[in-house]
Structure formats: structure tokens, C-alpha cells
Amino acid sequence: MSTEPRIAVCPGSYDPITNGHIDIITRASKLFDEVIVAVVNASVRKSKALFTAERRIDFIEEATAHLDNVRAEPFDVLLVDFAHQKGAVAIVKGLRAISDFEYETEMTQLNRHLASDLESVFIMASPQYSFLSSSGVKELAIFGGDVSELVPKHVEGPLKEALAR
């Protein structure tokens, strides 16, 4: 057995991080020696993020400060290239519903086509987060819905502020 640390990347937009993301990251941190939360920072993407990558990373770092083997970093290259640069052995993603399964199947096959050495690992969302997404949270918050149980406390204020603008 290799003694190299087993590193996983947990990629996403995290715009912003939700309690559902924290659930997946926490569980991944128990399976791997190191978890790098990889935050998409790509201007080529169709929709503009609400928060800058720096802000999204700050939110993640505060939310995961108690997890010693977790850190957050931006990336703007192919996910598999980023994973290789970091020496990762796996890409970890959360799965909520059948719709995620369809999208993630496609992404997994594409990533596997590019890098067959990287394993994609899926963690099923805990039931209480099976409906939760960053876009859903933003939609609720825009119309004044209560998001206090869906995002960390330190995200709730900035989220309301950003959406009010």
C-alpha cells in the first residue's frame, strides 16, 4: 500500500456554499486524508456568479474551519487537470436526485475519457438536504424566504445583501 496521502477534490461553483455542500464535504473528509474544495472560477461559464471566487472560498473556509484536512482553492482549468496538479486520486460529488444522476453520469464519462486514473466517487445527500441547491437558495432569498436552515449563518447576511443590490 502506498503511504502517499489520499487526496480528493470536491468541485463545484459553491455560489454560495449550502448546508448540503457542508454535509458532503464533511463526509468526504472522513474518507480521504485531504479534501480540496475546488471552486470554479471560470469566466467562460454562461451565468455570472453572485459572489467572487475569493468570497466563495472565504465562506467555505469559515464553514469548514473545524475540519483540519479540508481546504478550498479556485480553479479555472479542466477539472481533471486541476485534480492531477493536486495529486488527487478522486473527484467527490454529492448526488441528490435522478436529475443529478443524469448530469453526473455524463460528466463522469467525459472526465473518465480524459483521465481514466481518476475515480469519481458519489456521496448521497442526507435526506434533509436532498432538495437543496445554491440556485434554489438564491431564488428563495430573492423573494424573502427563510434560508436560515439552508446556509451557514455567516453566509445568510451577505446573501441577502448581495441579492438586494
Binding site for ligand PNS (CB under 6 A): 11-13, 40, 42, 75-76, 78-79, 107, 111
Of the pair 3, 99, the CB lying nearest ligand PNS is at 99
Find the shortest distance in angstroms from Cβ 142 to ligand PNS: 19
Q: What single DSSP character describes residue 152?
A: -
Cα–Cα distance for residue pair 98/122, rounded to 1 Å? 13
Of the pair 51, 75, the CB lying nearest ligand PNS is at 75
Of the pair 31, 78, the CB lying nearest ligand PNS is at 78
The one-letter code for the residue type at 22 is I
Rg, the chain, Cα only:
16
Cell of 33: 486524508
Three-state SS at 20? helix
The one-letter code for the residue type at 146 is D
Find the shortest distance in angstroms from Cβ 91 to ligand PNS: 7
Find the shortest distance in angstroms from Cβ 12 to ligand PNS: 4
Of the pair 33, 106, the CB lying nearest ligand PNS is at 106
Find the shortest distance in angstroms from Cβ 4 to ligand PNS: 24
Contact call for residues 76 and 42 (beta carbons, < 8 A): yes
Of the pair 7, 107, the CB lying nearest ligand PNS is at 107
Cα–Cα distance for residue pair 119/111, rounded to 1 Å? 9
Find the shortest distance in angstroms from Cβ 124 to ligand PNS: 17
Cα–Cα distance for residue pair 25/36, rounded to 1 Å? 9
